[in-house]
Amino acid sequence: MQYQYKPYNAQCPVCTHTANKLLYTVNARQSANHFIQTMGAKEISLDTLAQKIDSLWGKNTASVISCSNCDFVFADPFVAGDAEFYNLLPHSTTANDTNWKWEFEKSFQCISQLAASDANLQLLEIGASTGGFAKRIAKLIKKENIICLEHSAFGVNAIKQAGITAHSWDVRDLNQKGEYANKFNMVCLFQVLEHMDDLDTIFKTFNWVLKPNGRVFIGVPNADKIKFNELNNALLDMPPNHIGRYSDKTFKFLAGKWGFNITETAIEPYTPLDVMKTVMYYQSLQRRQLPPVANTLWYRVNEYIRIKYLRLQAALWHKNWAKRCGCNLQKQPNETL
C-alpha cells in the first residue's frame, strides 16, 4: 500500500484541526472481510458483518486520516465498534492469566513503588478482559480497592471469581455516579484507548474519577509500527475496531487539554527478528484477503528483494517499531473537572 496524503477536511478528535491528510479509504465489505480472515471468523456471514459496519459508519466507506497538527491518526467517521459488532466476532472463552504483557510489567513496577508508601490505593482498570493484570496487581493493592470494567460477560465472571469487583459498564457512565468522584489513585487501560471514540468524555471521566495527582497508565499499539506494516503490505489498522493511533505528540496535546502531566512514555524493546516475524505474519494475513498471485519467476525475485529490504529496515529501525508503547499521565493537583 501507498498512502495518498491528499488534503482532507475532517476535524481531529484530539486537537480539532481540520486541514488534514487522507491516508486511505476502505469500504464496509473490505473491513468485514479483514475481520473474517484475520480473526478466524469464517462462520460469520460477510454480508451480515458488512451491513453492521455500514450501519456504524452511516455510509459504505470510512477514511483513515492523519492530523497535520497533533499527529493523531483517526478514522472518519470516528465511530467505535459497539457491543453488537464485537458480539459478531469471535472472542476469548478461556482466561489466560499467563499472558503478562510488556505494558503490564511497566505499570506494575510503577504501582509497586506507589503502593510502598500508600497501603490504601484505589485502582480502576478499563477493558480488563479476564483480569490478568488485576489479579496480579491484587498482590500490591487490596482486592476490595480494585474495580474492573469489561464488556464481555465471560470476562466479568472470570474477574469476579477472583474476588475482584467487575462491571460491564461503559467508563463514561461513571460521570453520572457521584460515589466515583475523586475515588481512584490510578486508572489503567491497556490496548483499549485505540478502540474508543468520544475522547473528550473519556478524559473528562478520568478527571472525574481520579484523586489529585492520580495516574493514568495507558498502553496502545505503536503508531510507527502500524505505519511500517501498512506501507509494507501487511495488515491494515482497520476501523471500526481500531479508530485511533497515538504518538508522543498526540499524548502531549491530550495531556495539555485535560490537565495532565506526562511522567513517562516508553516503547516496548524489540529486536530486528521481532520486527520481521510480526510484519511477515501480518503480510500473510493480508494476502488471505486478496486473490492468489501466480508463483512466477518474477514474483519470486520480487519477493526475495522485498524480504532483503525489510531485513535492512528492521535492522536500522527496530527500536522504533515495537508492537506496543505506553504513556503514564499524572493529574495536576488543581484539576477538578
Confidence of residue 94 (pLDDT cuts 50, 70, 90): low
- Residue in 208, 259, 177, 240 with CA at minimum distance from that of residue 50: 240
Range 254-261 average pLDDT: 96
Percent of the chain with pLDDT over 90: 71
Query: Which pLDDT score, from 0 to 100, does residue 33 have?
Result: 94
Task: Give the length of the chain.
Answer: 337
Range 32-58 average pLDDT: 91
- Residue in 176, 179, 315 with CA at minimum distance from that of residue 165: 179
Residue reference for cell 488543581:
334
Query: Which pLDDT score, from 0 to 100, does residue 301 have?
Result: 81
CA–CA gap between residue 116 and residue 104 (Å, rounded): 18
Q: What ranges in 197-296 are assigned the alpha helix state H?
A: 199-209, 223-231, 248-258, 272-287
Query: Which pLDDT score, from 0 to 100, does residue 337 have?
Result: 45
Helix (H) or strand (E) holding 300: helix 297-317
How buried is residue 83: exposed, middle or buried, by Cβ count under 10 Å (0-12/13-18/19+)? exposed
Range 167-189 average pLDDT: 95
Task: Report whether 164 contacts 128 (CB < 8 A).
Answer: no
Query: Which pLDDT score, from 0 to 100, does residue 280 have?
Result: 83
Per-residue pLDDT tens digits for 186-200: 999 999 999 999 999
CA–CA gap between residue 164 and residue 178 (Å, rounded): 21
- Chain CA centroid to CA 257, Å: 20
Range 125-134 average pLDDT: 96
Per-residue pLDDT tens digits for 288-337: 787 877 788 887 887 778 788 788 887 887 777 777 788 998 988 765 44
Indicate if the pLDDT at residue 124 is higher than 70: yes
φ/ψ of residue 293, rounded to 5: -105, 140
CA–CA gap between residue 48 and residue 57 (Å, rounded): 15
**Beta partners for 116?**
none
Residue reference for cell 520480487:
302
Higher pLDDT, 327 or 145: 145
Query: Which pLDDT score, from 0 to 100, does residue 295 have?
Result: 81
CA–CA gap between residue 18 and residue 176 (Å, rounded): 31
Indicate if the pLDDT at residue 93 is higher than 70: no
Helix (H) or strand (E) holding 211: strand 210-221
